[in-house]
Structures are given as structure tokens and as C-alpha cells.
Amino acid sequence: MDSNGDIITTEDLVKKFGDLVAVDSVNFEVRAGEIFGFLGPNGAGKTTTMNMLSTIMKPTSGTAVINGYDIVNHQNEVRESIGMVFQDPSLDDTLTARENLEFHAVVYHIPRAERAGRMKEVLEMVSLTDRADDRVETYSGGMKRRLEIARGLLHYPKVLFLDEPTIGLDPQTRYHIWEYIEDLKKREGITIFLTTHYMEEAEHCDRIAVIDLGQIIALDTPERLKDDVGGDIIRLETEDDDAALAELKERYPELEMISDPECKLCFERERGEEFVPELIREFGVKIVSINIHRPTLDDVFLKLTGKEIRDDSGDRKEAMMKLASRTGVAPGSRGNRRR
Amino acid sequence: MEENTVKEIEEQGPELESAEEYLHRTSFQRSLTGVYIVWLRDFKRFWRDTPRRLGAFVQPLVYLFLLGTGLQAAFKVFGAGETKYVTFMFPGILGMTVLFTSVFSSISILWDRQFGFLKEILVSPVPRSSVALGKVFGGATTAVLQGMVLLVLMFLPSIFGFHWETLWKALLLIPLMILLALAMTSVGVAIGARLKSFEAFPVLMNFFLMPLFFLSGAMFPLQGLPSWMDFLTKINPLSYGVDMLRAVALKGVTLTTTSNVASKLPPEVLAKIQSDPQLATALQKVFPKMPTVQTQVHPLWLDVVVVAAFGLVMLAIAIWQFNRQE
């Protein structure tokens, strides 16, 4: 941790695969003890950034400091400071959960005397104690994920990296995993760095970096990001829309109506939840329905990038990235990112 | 107070080690435990995979008994007389088993990459050299275990027979097998460390392994070959490996036999002639058809040195490959 309380600091981190710039001069700080989220569509450069931070990949240029150690020059110290939960499973299926943890304990130099206790502790935390001696191949997807999180915590890392921690899991399991993560932050005070393309998941974060096409385009708390989009959208339906419109204009001259042929009485307003009770208290026209739409991170992303986060377009990008990383040749379609 | 501290330090003096020494010792220990745990996991995986274990033991038997017996009979048909071809082939099959198992064991790296476990290893603070060494030891262990099963077969009457001498040879063969297995697994790990395609692995391996195997002298003696082939066998490191095993296994064994002319001599006379190099050469000059199978091409020390040096170079490449980062 440096004097500002930042546990991760990056300096112009760049990763190129041939001509493709996967991560384009990224700069950010992660504060000790926070849940920091990387939000963006698949192929935006989230995993590549994480792979560089976790020393799996070497940056093309730039560097980062984690827990006081440079990711290029002090890889071993960085590796000891972090726990990693990868997007794709990384367990040995033919070993039992306990054996997987044991392997981890040895490669992370956990003293023999402490191993059993720590393994018991993390297994209990993810409720896998009963199944600890079963081979991992008999586990469900959610159990495997929990085991991976447990494993990532076994060596008491300063930072836990979670790459798409709940991808492909059912909502219930997803909920449980988030319970663990928030509990972890509270109990252990550990810093959590995660990537996601689920908006609901980004809401759990203390701060979010929105990343697209390899660049960070916004970085703030979820609330403030949403505030930047604008106020709440309020949509009224009344028995006499023209009269209602006149009354609105008279009472709130500053209101700007949103021009949408499908919605005569739509407008934007800060703190909609306070505005609406005030409005209906003395409104002359009979109101049929009121709808308040709070800006979501989807709206944030839409406003920032002009597109929605969607799985399908992302998968294609991901496939292209994989192709590029394997062959070293960039696919031709992303001219704007060529250098 | 101060005196006390000084006294304490003086008393403990010899047991204290400098911080540097301590760090050095622990980092060395850490590297060793890294090697151990990577090895242990690979071994567990092998041991739990029953079909793999069984299949691995059956293959050499097929070569030895089906191919060996068939060729032994074929040589008789071609006029070579009675040969002990199966006995001749035994050290070759031993070498082949060690070669194939060793090199192919590195496919475990590709599996680890495919199923993500390699990332768990590579993101951990265990030195990459420990990972490479652990993989080399893991593959070599399975290869040597298979070789050991074959060693039991040495005691069959059709091969070396049930003698004290056979036991002595078997014991001598173990360290040589270990050396060969370590060298050949290093080849596999050097190739497997960076390879990503499952399709390419067997193709690449067969491309290298089959010529290596055929030019090693495992199946036929490396004598009387055309000069180009003779040259290739000389630069094939595996031929030194097979030569090494053969030198020990076939020591004092008379493989041949008998050409048609020599077979007319009484066996005691023939044995006497063959035991004396000068007489044997003379006999060969008189009856050029008389075959003398060489059981050893190079001196044993040279075999061991070549295999060890080759292994070390391959190990260095394997470690270097593991150290490279995307």
C-alpha cells in the first residue's frame, strides 16, 4: 500500500496482440479494502488487464504496482500478495477439494502446521466441508466456483482477483457468492478486484471502472456514475394529458419534456422519489399511473459508449481476441483501434 | 541489560544464521517443495487413471512378444539360423518404453493448459524451474515404473532366465533407466511447455519419435548399415541410451548364433572361438557369412555421458520455455 492508501496503481498499462490494442494505456488506482469493479462487454480488455496484474501476461508497455511490488520486476512478491479466481475453471478435477487446497497451500508456502486449520476455515466459509474429500469432478458448477474462491483465499492474499466470478451460475448461487464476497470484505478487510459484464453485479462494487475497447471511459462509485447520466425519468399517464401538461408547465416552468411520440408526459427530474409525492398532492388532473425509472448502469454504459452491453456481440469479440492472442495476428475489423 | 544481550548472542552465536543464509535456505526449500508438489500431483493423476496404467503396461509386451517372437522366427526362415532375437530386443523395448512414456507424459502440460490448472500453477509464487522439474520427475517416474514391470520379465527363460546374474543386471538397469527417462521427459517438457494444440502434439511427437526410435538400434543392431544411416544413428542421442541398456543387459550373452557353416562346429568349440575376439575375427574372415551381433557400439561411459549431457541441455530448454511469458 502506498501513502495514498492505494493497493493497486497502474501506469499507462498497454497490451497489444499484434496490431490489436487490447488494453490501451490504462491508468487507475484501487484503494485498500474496497471492492473495485471492472465493467465492460466481453473483449473490452478486462481479462487482459487482470492477466497483466496477476503476472500471467507481460505488459507490452507500462506497469503496475500491487501491494508495493512492481508487476514486471517483482513477480514473485506480487504473486504472493494476490489470490486469483479465473474466469474459466482452474481446478484439478481428478483430485479432491482438499487435495486441490493442499497443492495451493504448498505452492504458496503456507507452513505445514497452519495448513489443516486454514483449509478447514476456508472450506467452512464456502460450505464445502462435507464434500471436501470428494473428487472435484463430482461437483456442480457453483460448488467448483466456491472452491476456487476458497482456494484463492487460502494464503490470505492482500488482493483477491475475481474474473467474472459468477459467470454461468444460476441466480441463487450468484446471490450466495456475493454474500461470501461482501462478508469477506467486512471480516478480512481484503481488497477485491473483479471484472464483470453483469450490471447487477457492478452495483455491489464500491467503485467501478467502465472499460470499453481497451480504455477506461469512466471511474466512480455506481451512484455517482448514475447521477452523471441525469435525473430519474418520470412518466405520467393521466385522464387528460393536455390539461396535465398545461398544469405541469405552470407549476414547474423549468421542466423539460422529453420529446417522444409514445410518451406525452415524460420528463427528467432529480430525486424523483421526492418529487412524485409532492406532485400528486395537489395535482388537478386525475393521474392513472406514475412510473419512475432510475438510471441504471446500463444507461450509464449506453450514454458513455452509445451501445448496450450485450453478451452476443461480446462473445464474438472475445473469440477474435483469443484468435489474436493465439496467432499474434489481429482480426481486420477493428480499424479504429489500430496503431 | 546490554551485557545480557551480548552474552545471549554469544551463547547462541553458532546457531544463528545470517538473514541472507536463512532466506537462501528457505527459498531453496521452497523450490524443492514446489518440485515435490508438482511431481506428487502428476503421480496421483497417473495412479488414479487405471486404464492408462494398464494400457501403459500392455504396449511393451505386445512389441516384445508379438513382434519379437515373429521376427525371431522370420530370421530363421531367412537363413540366419537360431537367434535370440527376443533377448536382443529386450533392452531395445525397455528403451522404447521409457522413451515413449517419458516424452508422451508431457501431454499432461497440455491437459493442464486446457483445463486451466496450469494458470493456477503459473500464477503461484512457485519458481517456474520447479514446475518444469516437477513435470520432468513426474513423467520420468511413470516411465521408470513401466520399465520396472518389464524388468520382471527378464527372468523368463526365453529372455535371460532365472539367475542371480539376471537380478544383478536388473538392478544395474534401474539407474540407467532413470537417467534415460529424465533426459527424454525433458525433451517432452521442452516441447509441451509452449504447445497449445492437442492435434499437433501427437503429430509432432511421432514426427520426432519414430525416426529417433528406429535409428536407436532398439529393433536391429546398428551394424552393416549404409553410411548415411550409420551417421544418423551416431547423432541420435537415443541410440546411446539403447546402447547403454544393451551393454548392461546383454553382457556375456551369446545371441547368435550360428550361421549355417558354424553350426556344424561342436558347440564347445564355437563358444571358445566366439569368446576370443581374435579367433572370432579370423573365423569371420574364413566364413564371412558368420554373423556376430555387437552388443555394444560405444563404451558405457560414453553412452552415459552423452545421455546425461543431452538430458541437461533439454532440461535447460524446458526450464527456459516455462520461464517465457506471454
What's the mean pLDDT in A200-221?
A: 89
| Backbone phi and psi for residue B178, each to the nearest 5 degrees, phi listed first | -60, -45
Of A122, A214, A120, A103, nearest to A160 by C-alpha is: A122
**CA neighbours closer than 13 Å in the CB half-sphere of residue B128:** 21
Q: Which residues of A touch B37 (CB under 8 A)?
A: 103, 106-107
CA distance B272 to chain A (A): 59
Residues 6+ apart with CB under 8 A from A11: A27, A62, A63, A64, A65
Give the burial class of A327: count Cβ atoms within 10 A of its Cβ; 0-12 exposed, 13-18 middle, 19 or more buried: exposed
CA–CA separation, B94 vs B156, rounded Å?
Answer: 15
What pTM was estimated for this model as a whole? 0.77
| Backbone phi and psi for residue A254, each to the nearest 5 degrees, phi listed first | -80, -10
**Inter-chain residue contact A109 with B49, CB threshold 8 Å:** no
Q: Give DSSP secondary structure letters for B172-185.
A: HHHHHHHHHHHHHH
pLDDT at B262: 59
Residues 6+ apart with CB under 8 A from B81: B75, B256, B257, B258, B259, B260, B263
Q: Which residue has the higher pLDDT, A116 or A257?
A: A116
Q: Which residue of B has its CA nearest to A137?
A: B115
Q: E-assigned strands of A184-228?
A: 191-196, 207-212, 215-220
Q: What's the CATH number for A6-226?
A: 3.40.50.300
> A25: left (phi > 0), else alpha (psi -120 to 50), else beta?
left
CA–CA separation, B63 vs B218, rounded Å?
Answer: 11
Look at residue B301 and tell me whether its pLDDT is greater than 90: yes
Local confidence band at A333 (pLDDT 50, 70, 90 cut-offs): very low
Q: Which residues of B touch A55 (CB under 8 A)?
A: 123, 325
Pairing of strands A6-17, A82-85: unpaired
Q: Which residues of B touch A90 (CB under 8 A)?
A: 115-117, 119-120
Q: Which residue of B has its CA nearest to A103?
A: B37
pLDDT tens digits along B268-299: 777 777 777 787 777 666 665 555 677 788 89
CA distance B179 to chain A (A): 27
Look at residue A158 and tell me whether its pLDDT is greater than 60: yes
CB B195 within 8 A of CB B322: no
CA–CA separation, A257 vs A309, rounded Å?
Answer: 28
pLDDT at A336: 40
Look at residue B228 and tell me whether its pLDDT is greater than 80: yes
pLDDT tens digits along B21-67: 666 667 788 888 889 999 999 999 888 888 877 887 787 888 888 88
Q: Give DSSP secondary structure letters for A85-121.
A: E-SS----TTSBHHHHHHHHHHHTT--HHHHHHHHHH
Q: What are B16's three cell numbers?
A: 544463528
Q: Chain A 275-334, CB below 8 Å of chain B: which residues?
A: 325-326
Q: Which residues of B touch A326 (CB under 8 A)?
A: 196
What's the mean pLDDT in A234-238?
A: 86
CA–CA separation, A324 vs A328, rounded Å?
Answer: 5
CB B172 within 8 A of CB B297: no
Give CA B211 to chain center in angstroms: 16
Q: Which range among A263-272, B95-104, B263-272 has the greatest average pLDDT?
A: B95-104
Mean pLDDT of all residues belonging to chain B: 82
**CA neighbours closer than 13 Å in the CB half-sphere of residue B104:** 17
User: Considering only A304-308, B73-77, B82-86, which range has the smallest mean pLDDT?
Assistant: A304-308
What's the mean pLDDT in B6-17?
A: 50
Pairing of strands A6-17, A20-26: antiparallel
pLDDT at B264: 64
pLDDT at A65: 95
Of A67, A5, A62, A63, nearest to A206 by C-alpha is: A5
CA distance B135 to chain A (A): 14
Residues 6+ apart with CB under 8 A from B119: A56, A84, A86, A90
Radius of gyration for chain B, computed over Cα atoms and rounded to the nearest angstrom: 25
Of B312, B135, B115, B277, nearest to A86 by C-alpha is: B115
Residues 6+ apart with CB under 8 A from A2: A9, A65, A68
Residue B49: CB atoms within 10 Å: 13
pLDDT tens digits along B136-168: 999 999 999 989 988 888 888 877 888 888 888
Of B188, B292, B302, nearest to B243 by C-alpha is: B302
Residue A270: CB atoms within 10 Å: 10
Q: What are A137's three cell numbers?
A: 469432478
| Most distant pair of Cα atoms in chain B: their distance | 100
Q: Which residue of A has its CA nearest to B28?
A: A109
User: Per CB distance under 8 Å, which residues of B are interface residues toward A?
Assistant: 30, 33-34, 36-37, 41, 44-45, 48-49, 115-117, 119-127, 196, 325-326
ipTM: 0.75
pLDDT at A316: 44
